[in-house]
Amino acid sequence: MSTPLHIPILRLGTTYRSVNVRQIKDLSTGETVAEMSVGNAGLLKRDTYKFADAQAALQAIPCEDLIAMSAKAGELFMNATLPLGDTMQTPGDYVQQLSRTSGLPHTLVRANMAKVHEALTHLDDIVRGLTRGISPEVLDRGFGEVNGTAVSFYPTTQALGMVMPSNSPGVNALWLPSIAFKTPVILKPGSDEPWTPWRVVQAMIAAGIPEEAFGFYPTDHEGSAAVMDVCDRSIIFGGEATMKRYGGDERVEVHGPGWSKVMIGEDCIDDYEKYIDIIVQSIAANSGRSCINASTIIVPKHSKAIAQAIAEKLAAITPLPNDDPNAKLSALANPKVAEWADSQITNGLQASGAVDLTEAARGGTPRLSTFEGRTYVLPTLVHCDSWDHPLCNSEFMFPFASVVEVPQNEVLDTIGGTLVVSAITHDDAFTADLLRCRDIQRLNLGPAPTSSAQWDQPHEGNLFEFLYQRRAIHMAGATSGDGR
């Protein structure tokens, strides 16, 4: 049996092999695919003295060049053979390794890969979207002019901390602009998904971005807390408990459950059949793992017929071999998480007023299922009689949604915090109400799946505004408006 490859810690330019390792295993066979160094929190705390140099290394490179290097990194990420510990990793290796250890089928790994590639190769658009068109030179000099007004921005942190999840490789796209914004990144990878952040970092280094701009610290709970301690700006992914803990802390941006929704207006509801595919895509894209997946479908009427139609389509999504080109469903890396989700739904259904329509559509196959040694929770659609049912507006890490009837004139007072709403309506008054709604972070008007994203439209926080603060500036003796 061959020695598993080792994924080390990257300490802003220095590679470090920890005594403690975490084994990352093939979900089907149990074989150890890699051992990942797991560092103690103190390693990162001691490395904070390198932050200033790391930031200076990026400051020395023009923003335009960093964008160009990022684009090159996108190509390398997609196509090149890159270092992985003491070995090299081809794109095919990456797909295999990530698929074997995360449960994502190759189709979804490649889709996520394409998402990261697109983000890197379109970083100019993203930067423009995030800065609302400010010239990159303004970031190089720290001051400049926008529409005739002098502006100056200063960094809010020496490094951006990222406490990453394991559920979806595509979320790495979120931190990519940080490099163009001249801010080093301190990555704490998800315990089961080091592959993507590691490969992105290697692609960026190969593209010419200084290696001291990257910290890659697989660590424990204490280490995660240290990331947020030592970085003046951090992004963390987590559930409601994480949101509660860090909510209101301006240093921390929490990406929690999205509670994303599809709504059909009264004016379109009689044509609901036209929108079933968009709803199914909203629920099941990326195997339902993203916060932008819809978890609640809100309609003014026809809820049972709509739920039945969705359920039949969802029930057709079944586990397939990981390399099957038609595979759409991911296994869950941790069977306990799968069991927990299944039991939550089973318990929820015991409260009256909800019915699982997918179970019947599947012919009674249990929701919790194994295939080729991997654990799956099969797509589930629940019809709820009331918004107050415990399963309504619930979110899980697999394709799950509830369908519920809420009168249109009550819906915006009901939904609560929602990351994405796809509102299918032509009603001007309802549209105006949607545009004014403070609970919606991203609004798709018209029949678009919640899972579609545009890079120049940040839907959950704005990384530039997180990493930079505008200051008033006056340069005595300068001609008004020349910005210098």
| Beta carbon of residue 37, minimum distance to other proteins (angstroms, whole number) | 9
Phi, psi of 186 (to 5 degrees): -115, 105
Q: Which of 1, 19, 241, 476 binds other proteins (CB under 8 A)?
A: 19
Return the exposure string of 30-68: e unless at least 16 CB atoms fall within 10 Å of the residue's CB, then b: eebbbbbbbbbbebbeebbebbeebbebbeebebbebbb
Residue 243 interacts with other proteins (CB under 8 A): yes or no: no
Question: From CA 48, how far away is CA 8, in angstroms rounded?
Answer: 19
How many residues make contact with other proteins (CB under 8 A)?
11
Please work out, in degrees rounded to the nearest 5, the angle formed at the alpha carbon of residue 473 by the alpha carbons of 470 and 478: 145
Phi, psi of 323 (to 5 degrees): -95, 10
Chain centre distance of CA 381:
23
What 8-state DSSP symbol labels residue 311?
Answer: H
| Beta carbon of residue 163, minimum distance to other proteins (angstroms, whole number) | 16
| Beta carbon of residue 26, minimum distance to other proteins (angstroms, whole number) | 24
Residue 241 interacts with other proteins (CB under 8 A): yes or no: no
Residue 40 interacts with other proteins (CB under 8 A): yes or no: yes
| Overall size of the chain counted in residues | 484
Q: Which of 25, 26, 32, 38 binds other proteins (CB under 8 A)?
A: 38
| Beta carbon of residue 43, minimum distance to other proteins (angstroms, whole number) | 6
Cβ-based nearer residue to other proteins, 20 or 347: 20
| Beta carbon of residue 67, minimum distance to other proteins (angstroms, whole number) | 36
Q: Which of 14, 20, 23, 370 binds other proteins (CB under 8 A)?
A: 20
| Tokens describing residue 474 | 């006056």
Nearest one of 166, 236, 173 to 25, comparing CA atoms? 166
Look-up: residue for tokens 């210098």? 484
Residue 471 interacts with other proteins (CB under 8 A): yes or no: no
Residue 18 interacts with other proteins (CB under 8 A): yes or no: yes
Cβ-based nearer residue to other proteins, 189 or 379: 189
Residue 443 interacts with other proteins (CB under 8 A): yes or no: no
Between 215 and 234, how does the x/- string for binding to other proteins read (CB under 8 A)? ----------x---------
Which window, 12-20, 97-105, 113-121, 427-435, contacts other proteins (CB under 8 A)?
12-20
Which window, 33-41, 233-241, 250-258, 263-271, contacts other proteins (CB under 8 A)?
33-41
Residue 45 interacts with other proteins (CB under 8 A): yes or no: yes
| Beta carbon of residue 422, minimum distance to other proteins (angstroms, whole number) | 39
Question: From CA 303, how far away is CA 300, in angstroms rounded?
Answer: 8
Which window, 39-47, 55-63, 399-407, 437-445, contacts other proteins (CB under 8 A)?
39-47
- Collect contacts of 76-79 with beta carbons under 8 A, ≥24 apart: 76/203, 76/206, 76/207, 77/113, 77/116, 77/117, 77/120, 77/199, 77/200, 77/203, 78/113, 78/114, 78/117
Query: Which residues make up the interface to other proteins (CB under 8 A)?
Result: 18-20, 38-40, 42-43, 45-46, 225
